Structure formats: structure tokens, C-alpha cells
Amino acid sequence: MFCSIIINRATNKAIDKPFTYILPEHLNALVGSRVMVPFGPLNKLTIGYLINIVSDEQITNIDFKIKTVIEVLDEEPILNQEQLEMVKFLVEYYGSSYAAAISTLLPPIDKHDIKTAVATTEFLYKAADDQAILQYLNKISHSKTFANQAKILNFLLQNDGQIVSELKNTLELNTNSSINSLLKLKLIKRVFWQVRVQHMPICYDKFLPLNSEQQQAYDQISSCSDHNTFLLEGVTGSGKTEVFLHLIRDAVERGESVIVLVPEIALTRQTVNRFTERFGSRVALTHSKLTPRKRREIYLQAKIQNVQIVIGPRSAVFMPLPRLSLIIIDEEHDGSYKSDMVPKFNAIEIAIERMKHHQGKLILASATPSLESYYQATLGIYEYLKLNQRAKNATMPTISIVDMREELAAGNTKILSRRLHNAIVDTVTQGKQVMILLNRRGHSTFISCRSCGYVAKCAYCDQPFTYHQKNKLLICHHCLNQIQVPTTCPECGSKYMQFFGNGTQKIEEYLMMHFSHYGIARMDLDTVSKKNELETLLQDFEKGATKLLVGTQMISKGHDFSNVTLVGIISADSLLYIPDFRAAEKTYQLITQTLGRSGRGADQGKVIIQTHSPQNDVLINIQNGSQPQFYKSELITRKIMGYPPYNHLFSVMISSEDEQSVIQNIKKLFAYYTHYNKKKLFRLLGPTAATMPKLANKFRWKIMIIGQPRDILLFYGRYCIDKFNEYEKPKKINIIWDIDPRNMI
Ligand code: ADP
Ligand code: ZN
Ligand code: ZN
């Protein structure tokens, strides 16, 4: 027999591919297992993944140098059938390397402890007869250094078969060293068992009876047999989560499992509680701040379905739950579902693949779907469901727009308009709460000389520094470079350095001046870098200890505080002017999500939006509550421009510290794209400097390619890079590419 092997952690392209080996029959190897193979000119013993077994007849041209698999490392394959298919999908659909695809699917694996990769709970048993153990005990009885070994052996003599972690607890062992020594002496042995966890019954009392709109959505999803994917568009506060919870309950009762994806920042105690109070220990959550050990444990528990519901950010979509019948992607429009690291997968596409495999259902939910998903729904590819009303009899907030140019004309140069200021006074004096969005952290967004116009910029990124009040430093938000605030202008020596532009700290400062005794919190990357900082901040706000919360887009997602009746949105339009064809869509989504935090309880909510361009279509549609209108007109624009969802994108960027080299090489690369595009199947844009032309001391230029079909675009995009590398042999430049990028680089 022959087999295909992928070398573990292949670092370069030349070896990142399937290699053929002879597979001796007596090894009884199963596809998906890890094996030891001789590799390279020196036949170095290397770990490989067995991804395919082929019989002799299927191999046509056998190389006489073909090598042989030495050993099988896994008793049970580490990659199951679905995961093997997924490796193939990641490689073919995203152009991932095999190495990156495999490491995306597997938990962090301890190199020395291969067996724990598939087993779950570790037990210790006696491995010698009692006589031999007693002899050994006798030998070590006088030595203090062996005291722990003696404890373990005595304990096992009395109670054979102990869970390692419990044994360590009972005997107060802090390390594994004594256990390891005894294992080496073969006096004890280690066995891995899969332990079934007993869960508490589902807590049925906690389920709210669905209202008629929710019931209809629930019925449609449960009974639908001709669709796998649903787009659930429900206004903020319409009770989408309650619909999920009912569907999850059904799946759990059938013994199936579920994955729930949320944007990382929405993964707060509030969200998680709603799941754990009903499903208890069936729920596991993963997030980026867990230790590798903890992540592996959740993975292994999921693999044997000891947990049935996994909640987490995009990477959780790969959880190897065996009877997976439902995936829910909440806030499906969120940009974080597309990975920015290789493999640059989109969790929605992965979820679609998995639900095809398991014949399960995928629910994409949002108050403001992405245009891509909306388009799929209009085509009937996704089943389109809507929740038009808020769940708890709450109404949607009233929205008013303040023209900040008029404020200025009336002599108000402050950061808040008079209307917003007065509304805050009214709200807090009634004991209600306020949220204010400004999507820029820091205090002032640039500092400039009033005499000569000099702007302080980061030398590595060529972008203005942001002033941070707390440590009185200028910080570059792109590379984190910091400098002292210059007291005189480095260009002309003038003493008149002035701060311009507003960040969250400046609003906080303003609120402190006027409303300090109501309690003010600020939520942005500077205040919640640690997990529990975020928790404390949210808890204080939930309790009402703080009445005012100012923050960046972090405050827009998921939070359900029924006492918030006023939401202020500052510089609502700043997002509109970023060079990205999704600017209008992103602005629309951010504002709509944020205003959805207002009036979620019994009292009618209010939203005040401050802008310098009140005539903007996005704002007008938001004020009129005409969401379908916005989506339709945005789709028309995309169609005219040939942008997604009507086409696919392929982006390439070259970066290097040497600007000339970047420009020369991107021009050469562009020539390859032109050369292989004779039939003009694709539209080539560029080469141009990237949106951030310099980042962390590297210059960046890009090319954008637009067209379809996707597979040919991907092939063409990569083919030209390969040819360019092969013939030009460029030095010291970095090339990165992406298919269907979400962010315009
Ligand atoms: P969404 O996820 O759509 O923003 P949520 O699921 O957070 O909405 O629901 C908003 C609020 O309405 C929550 O406080 C929730 O407990 C409540 N709610 C949801 N469904 C119902 C229902 N059927 N009856 C009463 N309250 C409900
Ligand atoms: Zn100056
Ligand atoms: Zn910088």
C-alpha cells in the first residue's frame, strides 16, 4: 500500500505538499493519524499526517526512491474525516498551506505528549505487582527526596486507578516530576479514558415564551427542509438570542451539538449567562485569552461531545463536535469573522461547508446584515427571516440629527452640541443612563503648530500621532511608537503647539467637568485590554454605579442594558471618508447597532447624532428608518461599480523598508498581471500606495484585482505571484495577498 503524507509544520512552499510513502500493512495505520517518516536527503525522522491511503493499482509511476512509513503515532486518528475534508477545503478555497490548514484545525499540541491529543482524562494505574512496588518503597523509605514517590505508590496500592489531576490534588503534588519518575521505572502506567460527563437537566424555567414574530421565525427554521442557511434580520432588541436558545434546546434534546459564534468583544458575562443558566455544563466558551492548555481541553471535550454548545469567536467554527446540527453566527456582518492570518478563512463560508457535511442548519443573524449576505437572501440562496419589532414591548428610539456647523455658527465650539448636553442632563437627573459613541480612542487625534502648520507624525508610519492624556504622550495607533509632546515646533521653533481632533478621552474629560458625580466610564482599547477590566466596567454600568459610558465601537455590540435611554453618536460621519467601498455599509452598521442600545427597557429611547454632513444618504436613511431603501441603493452602487457581492476581489501588497524596491517590484508584478490578462477577464486596479502607505517603517504598495469566477481569480492571482517570484527572484520584499478581503489595505 501507498499513502500521502503531509510533513508537520512544513515551513516552506517546496515541502508543503503531499508526499508518497510506502505504508506497511502491519502498521494498521488509519487515515488522519500522525506517523513517523524519514524525510529529506538525510532521512531525518519527521512527524507527518497521513491524509490518504491508496492501493498499489492506483499508483502509476512509482519512484524507486520511495520511502517507507516507520511508525504510527496515534491509536485513534487525530484528524477525523470531516477535518481531512476541511484541510482540503482550506487549501483549495483559500490557497492556504497544508501546514497552516492543519494547525488551524488542531488545538495546541504538546509535542512530548502526543497521546493526550485524542484521549481525554488521564488515569494512573499500578504497572508492577505489589511485591515489586513494596520492594521499591522499602528501598526509598529513608530518603526525603523520594517522599512524593512513596506517597503516590502507597496511595495506588490502596486505590488503584486514579485520575491524575485528582491524585495530585489529594496528595498536594505541585509538579509531575515524581509521577514521571515512576512511569520511567515502569512501576506505574498511564491510561487515557474518555469520561462521560453527567450534565444537569436543561433549565426549562428560564426559557421565555416566544412572541408571535419569534415563533414564526423559530417554526420556519425548524421545519424548513429546502434550505441550509438562514439570514435572520431582526432589529436590535428583537429577541434573536431567545430564538437561538429555543432552537439550541431542541438540538440538545436530540443529542446533537451546536456552535455559536459571536464577535470577541460581545463575549461578555451577560451573553454567556443566558446560555449557561439554561444549559449548564453543556456550554463551553473559547476566546483568545485562554491558555493553550485550556483550549486543548475544550477541544477534547467537544470532540467526545462532553460539551454540546461551544460559544466563541471565529476560530470556534472549527470545533470538532461530532453531531453538529446547528451553527449560529451572531452579528454576522462583523468584520472579525474573516481571518486576517493565513489561512484567511471566512467563518461564514466554513460554517456553510460544515453544515453541508453534517446536513445541519446555519443561522446568520444581525440587525444590519452584510451586503453579501443580504444579496444571497434576495437571490433565495439563504432563507430570509425578519423580526420587525422589539421583544419586550419596547419601541425603537427616536432619532435626531444635529448639524455641528450650525453649532459652531451659534458660537458653541465644544465637543458636545447643546442638544446632546441638555439631553444628558435630562436623562441622568431622571436616574437613567447614557452611552456615547466616538470611534476614536485617545484625547486629541493630532497636534499641530499654529505658526507653520507642522503636524507631529510617527516616523515609522507617517501618520499623525494621537495625544493620550493619561500619560501625556503622543502615541502612534498603528505601530504603538510613543514620544513626548514637543514643547516647541521642531520646524519653526514656535511655542504654539495646539491639539486638534477628538478622541474618547476628550469626551470623558468633558463629561467629568459637567457630570462627574453621576459616575463616568470609558470603554476602549486603552481601558479594557484585560478581560476582567471589561467585566468590571460592564458590571458597574449594569448596576448603575456609573451612569455615563463613553466608548469606541466596542460599546455598540451585544450589550443589553434596559436603563439606557439616551445614546449620543459623535462624528458619526468620520467613517464615511475612509477609502473603502464598504465605507457607507460600515457606517450604517455601526450607527444602527449603537442606536440599538437605546430604549431597550420600558421607557422610550432617544438617539442624538452629531455630524458635519447631515445631508448624507446613510444618515437620512437611518433617521427615516428605511433600511430596505439603504440596502437596495447600496446594492445598485455596488453593481454599477462592479464590487462585491457582484464580483470577487484579490488583493496583493508588497512591503519593504526600501521604498524604491517596493515601487519597482510592484510595477514588475503588475506587468505579470497585465500579461496574463490578455482576454481582459479581470479588472486590474493599481499599483497604488496602500491606504496606510507606510506602517512600522515599511513602505506598502498594492494591486487590486476584481472579477469572477472566484476560482479562476484565485488561480490567476497566485499564478502571477509565482511567476513573478520565479523569474524576478525579488529580494527583501514581503508579498501578501488575500482573496475576498474585508478590509481595504
Ligand atoms: P437581540 O439579540 O435581537 O438584540 P435579545 O435577544 O438580546 O435581542 O433580546 C432583547 C431583550 O428582550 C432581552 O432583554 C430579552 O431578555 C428580551 N426578550 C427576548 N425575547 C423575549 C420574549 N419572548 N419575551 C420577553 N422578553 C424577551
Ligand atoms: Zn511650526
Ligand atoms: Zn507608527
pLDDT, one tens digit per residue, over 473-510 is: 999 988 888 999 998 999 999 998 888 888 999 999 99
* Nearest atom (ligand 1) to Cα of 214: 23
* Nearest atom (ligand 1) to Cα of 236: 4
What is the CA(413)–ligand 2 centre distance, in A? 24
Whose C-alpha lies nearest to ligand 1, atom 19? 239
Residue burial 119-155, b: 16+ Cβ < 10 Å; e: rest: bbbbbbebbbeeeebeebbeeeeeeeebebbbbbbee
What is the CA(259)–ligand 1 centre distance, in A? 20
What is the CA(645)–ligand 2 centre distance, in A? 47
What is the CA(272)–ligand 1 centre distance, in A? 14
> Which grid coordinates belong to 44?
531525518
In angstroms, the Cα distances linking 618 to 46, 395, 588, 612 are 57, 22, 6, 13
Nearest ligand, measured from the Cα of 391: 1
What is the CA(490)–ligand 2 centre distance, in A? 7
List, in sequence order, the alpha helices (H) in 177-260.
177-184, 212-223, 240-253
Q: What is the H or E stretch that residue 139 is in?
A: helix 130-140
Q: What is the pLDDT of residue 116?
A: 46
**Closest residue by Cα to residue 694 from 490, 485, 464:** 464
What is the CA(255)–ligand 3 centre distance, in A? 52
348 and 743 Cβ atoms separated by less than 8 Å: no
User: Measured between alpha carbons, how far is 396 from 415 in angstroms, rounded to an integer?
Assistant: 26
Task: Tell me how many degrees the CA angle 622-561-601 measures, rounded to the nearest 5.
Answer: 75
Nearest ligand, measured from the Cα of 694: 3
Q: What is the pLDDT of residue 62?
A: 63
Q: What is the pLDDT of residue 729?
A: 95
DSSP readout, 375-406? HHHHTTSSEEEEE-S-TTSPPPPEEEEEEHHH
Model's pTM, two decimal places?
A: 0.88
Whose C-alpha lies nearest to ligand 1, atom 14? 560
Residue 509 burial by Cβ neighbours in a 10 Å radius (0-12, 13-18, 19+): middle
State how beta strands 466-468 and 473-475 pair: antiparallel
Is the preceding omega at residue 709 within 30 degrees of 0, hence cis?
A: yes
Residues of the chain with pLDDT under 50: 112, 114, 116-119
> Which grid coordinates belong to 386?
425578519
Task: Cell 474573516: give the residue.
Answer: 338
447 and 500 Cβ atoms separated by less than 8 Å: yes
Whose C-alpha lies nearest to ligand 1, atom 20? 239
User: Measured between alpha carbons, how far is 60 from 37 in angstroms, rounded to an integer?
Assistant: 22
437 and 567 Cβ atoms separated by less than 8 Å: yes
Q: Which mutation among 205, 242, 246, 329 tests ligand 1's pocket best, with the greatest number of atoms within 8 A of CB?
A: 242
Nearest ligand, measured from the Cα of 455: 2
Whose C-alpha lies nearest to ligand 1, atom 23? 210
List, in sequence order, the alpha helices (H) in 233-291.
240-253, 269-279
What is the CA(597)–ligand 1 centre distance, in A? 13
What is the CA(465)–ligand 3 centre distance, in A? 8
* Nearest atom (ligand 1) to Cα of 596: 4
Whose C-alpha lies nearest to ligand 1, atom 4? 237
> Which grid coordinates belong to 363?
443561522
Pocket of ligand 1 (CB under 6 A): 208-211, 214, 234, 236-242, 391-392, 560
Whose C-alpha lies nearest to ligand 1, atom 15? 239
* Nearest atom (ligand 1) to Cα of 238: 3
Helix axes 617-624, 583-595, angle to 10 degrees: 30
Nearest ligand, measured from the Cα of 491: 2
Q: What is the pLDDT of residue 59?
A: 64
477 and 442 Cβ atoms separated by less than 8 Å: yes
What is the CA(453)–ligand 2 centre distance, in A? 6
Q: What is the pLDDT of residue 194?
A: 65
What is the CA(213)–ligand 1 centre distance, in A? 12
* Nearest atom (ligand 1) to Cα of 562: 14
> Which grid coordinates belong to 140?
526509598
> Mind listing the domains of the chain with CATH numbers?
2-105 (3.40.1440.60), 121-193 (no CATH), 204-391 (3.40.50.300), 398-442+504-636 (3.40.50.300), 446-500 (no CATH), 648-739 (3.30.70.360)
Q: Provide the CA 712 distance to its chain's centre, in angstroms.
A: 28
State how beta strands 44-54 and 2-7 pair: antiparallel
> Which grid coordinates belong to 90?
482550506
Nearest ligand, measured from the Cα of 457: 3
Whose C-alpha lies nearest to ligand 1, atom 6? 239
- pLDDT per position as a tens digit, 577-586: 878 899 999 9
Task: Tell me how many degrees the CA angle 442-446-449 measures, rounded to the nearest 5.
Answer: 145
Largest Cα–Cα distance in the chain? 96
Nearest ligand, measured from the Cα of 461: 3
Nearest ligand, measured from the Cα of 331: 1
Q: What is the pLDDT of residue 118?
A: 46
In angstroms, the Cα distances linking 67 to 37, 159, 170, 443 are 8, 48, 49, 64
What is the CA(448)–ligand 2 centre distance, in A? 8
- pLDDT per position as a tens digit, 399-430: 999 999 999 999 999 999 999 999 999 999 99
The pair phi, psi for residue 592, each rounded to 5°, is -65, -40
What is the CA(446)–ligand 2 centre distance, in A? 14
User: Measured between alpha carbons, how far is 660 from 366 in angstroms, rounded to an integer?
Assistant: 45
Q: Is 472 left (phi over 0), alpha (psi -120 to 50) or beta?
A: left
Q: Which mutation among 240, 241, 556 tests ligand 1's pocket best, with the greatest number of atoms within 8 A of CB?
A: 241
Whose C-alpha lies nearest to ligand 1, atom 26? 392
Q: In what order do the strands lie in the sheet with 698-707?
A: 683-695, 698-707, 648-656, 734-739
Q: What is the pLDDT of residue 588?
A: 95
User: Measured between alpha carbons, how far is 284 from 276 in angstroms, rounded to an integer?
Assistant: 9
* Nearest atom (ligand 1) to Cα of 330: 2
Q: Which mutation among 206, 274, 560 tests ligand 1's pocket best, with the greatest number of atoms within 8 A of CB?
A: 560
Handedness of CA 631, 637, 643, 647 (dihedral sign): positive
What is the CA(692)–ligand 3 centre distance, in A? 10
State how beta strands 383-387 and 564-569 pair: unpaired
